[in-house]
Structure 1
């Protein structure tokens, strides 16, 4: 699935950066880019677009004003919005126009990818209505990881554990001899992995709770891996174990 996008920003460098990030992301397609909201509105009136990466503070017509115009159309095909702005005071207004996300400048590709993945999941559910029947907390059963120069879709059920490795993380998978090496942080992985299925038990390890084979003396065994539960995470893990054992 490709998501048709436009980028709107009156700052040339910011506009080029968003365009570059879109080009780097396999499931996004950059249709056009605009340095003012009036031209963008004219384009949107004549073309089908799924997603708008939209700056807020622009002359003549602001990004928020454009968002209100689009939101007022009440069409199921209206484009969705991810705001890109240097000002955090517009966050509440962004929710009022049903924005998918809000990127605060300067943002990294990792932050951009996280917001874009949220959009991908939204459109996948929108185009496949049966997905909406799932529990909203658990309906996303995959994540995208940046591996070398591409994005790789990884099913959550296949992840056994995540291991810190310098500036990267190693994502260990079922039935795969070698882990995926992704340029991201353990903190980011902890945020994007669902907390009902994954738990951080060590500064360097996040485990998939469904793949625990055994626990003994604060050591978790997953397949051939033995992972220690560190003191900082022991209390939360023991609480989980007590619930697990009934």
Structure 2
């Protein structure tokens, strides 16, 4: 699998370095490079890109502003972002626009490869979930990998009862496990990689496994000892599921 990338940086040396790193990484494909975010935005509007290596401080349109524009687009194929910047004060803002990672200049190829491998794992999981939806995935592939501390942990999908947002992390609650797994990712990421026929977001802070619902009372879903509210924004889709369940 090749990940389609673009690099955006107004500093020529930094742009060339990132481009070189991309080209020497076997699972990355450099589709284009830009020295300003406005040109990059025009390209993104016309071409399908998986991953953007994006500097933050640029004239006219900053990398953070470009990221906000990309994050606001209603598309299932929005490119993911790895920020490359000399300023560490933007880390929190990076999480707000759902950045995949944050490389602080000057960074080594080892650091670049670590962030890129994280992206590769994400797109591989996404591809596997697409195979599940198309009925081509085997039982052995019915899983995802999550970053837990300094390792990737394999999680079987049928063991997940629900996923809960927790600051910059998610808590993944598992069947027959007293304590949830804490992973550094967002609920939005989890919503993208979990198969929609099995998992549903019912609240800004919760995704549930529909197979693990024990009972429903008013706008509350009961899964084991957990009571999870269905918020107003997600009520219609949940009611549609319930109507199918009852017929």
Q: TM-score range by the shorter chain?
A: 0.5 to 0.7
The RMSD of aligned alpha carbons is 4.2
SS, match of residue 120 in structure 1: helix
Unaligned runs of 5+ in 1: 19-32, 41-48, 59-85, 126-130
Compare CA radii of gyration and give the structure with the larger one.
1
Pick from 117, 120, 133 the counterpart of residue 121 of structure 2. Answer: 117
Compared CA separation, residues 135 and 54, structure 1 to 2 (3 A): same
* Bigger mean CA offset, 141-150 vs 161-170: 141-150
Distance 2:235 2:175 in 1: 26
1:87 deviates by: 1.5
Unaligned runs of 5+ in 2: 56-80, 83-98, 102-115
* Bigger mean CA offset, 160-169 vs 115-124: 115-124
Distance 1:232 1:124 in 2: 28
Residue 167 (structure 2) pairs with residue 166 (structure 1): yes
Compared CA separation, residues 118 and 212, structure 1 to 2 (3 A): same
Compared CA separation, residues 52 and 203, structure 1 to 2 (3 A): closer
Q: Is the 8 A contact 2:165 2:206 kept in 1?
A: yes
Aligned residue runs from structure 1 range 105-184, under 5 A? 105-106=54-55, 107-108=81-82, 110=100, 115-117=119-121, 119-120=123-124, 135-136=133-134, 139=137, 141-184=142-185
Look up the match of 1:103: 52
Residue 40 (structure 2) pairs with residue 87 (structure 1): yes
1:244 deviates by: 1.2
Compared CA separation, residues 181 and 14, structure 1 to 2 (3 A): farther
- For normalisation by structure 1, the TM-score amounts to 0.57
CA offsets per residue over residues 152-194 of structure 1, 9 Å max, x none? 2222222110112222210101222211111222222222222
For this pair of structures, how many residues does the alignment match? 183
Distance 2:226 2:208 in 1: 11
